[in-house]
């Protein structure tokens, strides 16, 4: 979302050449979140040049309608919001059936406990650390506690579920997020708006 869309190919190349592990793509429908971002066509173009997995974050109402379409254009991980689908189990199965890795996203005020009975089925849980819809926002403090609770749940279940954090991640808060138990950090503005994105990614990757 934070990339320069008039220069998408060079932005994709930059990420290819960086230490980043995945491309994180924010799809917004103007209903589930107030903003509209981009959809199938843009991701198809990114896929042409991307040399790393596509982590597709669907901020759309009733995502079950589009799982197949995103799988067909090369999504590797598909993240759907807990709040956007009525039958979470069915939608996660749908994602598995098309050969993608299923991931569930929780909004800021959705408690992690709602995932207790389905954690084993989640390749990843994405915790929103801002109110989704726009880039460039400041991370909310509540995130740290939520990561710790989720980490406990995952460890208690002996599951391999990854914890991903999305929203306001930067060089200042990354270490604390990792210390609380996060596995995957999404960085938008803090990377793309920095002087040297490749260096910033490298700094983020080498925090320990
Ligand atoms: Zn996202």
Q: Which of 26, 117, 179, 199 is catalytic?
A: 26
Residue 208, pLDDT > 80, answer no
Query: Catalytic annotation on 166?
Result: yes
Specify whether the CB–CB gap between 122 and 115 falls below 8 A: yes
pLDDT at 8: 95
Taking only the tens place, the pLDDT of each residue in 14-65 is 999 999 999 999 999 999 999 999 999 999 999 999 999 999 999 999 999 9
Mean residue pLDDT of the chain comes to 96
Q: How far is the CA of 158 from the centre of ligand 1 (A)?
A: 26
Tell me the whole-structure pTM to 2 decimals.
Answer: 0.97
pLDDT at 134: 82
CA–CA dist 127, 177 (Å, integer):
11
Taking only the tens place, the pLDDT of each residue in 81-108 is 999 999 999 999 999 999 999 999 999 9
Query: Catalytic annotation on 76?
Result: no
E strand segments, 5-123: 23-28, 54-59, 77-81, 101-106
Q: How far is the CA of 27 from the centre of ligand 1 (A)?
A: 8
pLDDT at 107: 97
Taking only the tens place, the pLDDT of each residue in 115-167 is 999 999 999 999 999 998 888 889 999 999 999 999 999 999 999 999 999 99
Q: How far is the CA of 124 from the centre of ligand 1 (A)?
A: 13
Mean local confidence (pLDDT), 178-205: 96
């Amino acid at each position: 979302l934070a990339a320069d869309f008039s220069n998408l190919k060079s932005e994709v190349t930059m990420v290819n050449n960086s230490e980043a592990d995945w491309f994180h793509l924010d799809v917004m429908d103007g209903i589930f979140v107030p903003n509209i971002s981009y959809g199938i066509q843009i991701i198809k173009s990114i896929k042409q040049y991307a040399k790393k997995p596509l982590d597709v974050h669907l901020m759309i109402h009733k995502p079950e309608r589009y799982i197949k379409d995103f799988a067909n254009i090369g999504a590797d991980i598909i993240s759907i919001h807990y709040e956007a689908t009525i039958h979470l189990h069915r939608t996660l199965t749908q994602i598995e059936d098309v050969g993608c890795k299923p991931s569930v996203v929780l909004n800021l005020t959705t408690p992690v406990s709602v995932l207790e009975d389905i954690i084993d089925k989640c390749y990843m849980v994405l915790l929103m650390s801002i109110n989704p819809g726009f880039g460039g926002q400041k991370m909310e403090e509540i995130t740290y506690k939520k990561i710790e609770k989720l980490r406990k749940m995952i460890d208690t279940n002996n599951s391999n579920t990854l914890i991903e954090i999305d929203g306001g991640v930067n060089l200042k808060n990354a270490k604390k997020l990792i210390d609380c138990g996060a596995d995957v950090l999404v960085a938008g503005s803090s990377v793309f708006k920095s002087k040297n994105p490749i260096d910033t990614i490298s700094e983020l990757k080498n925090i320990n």
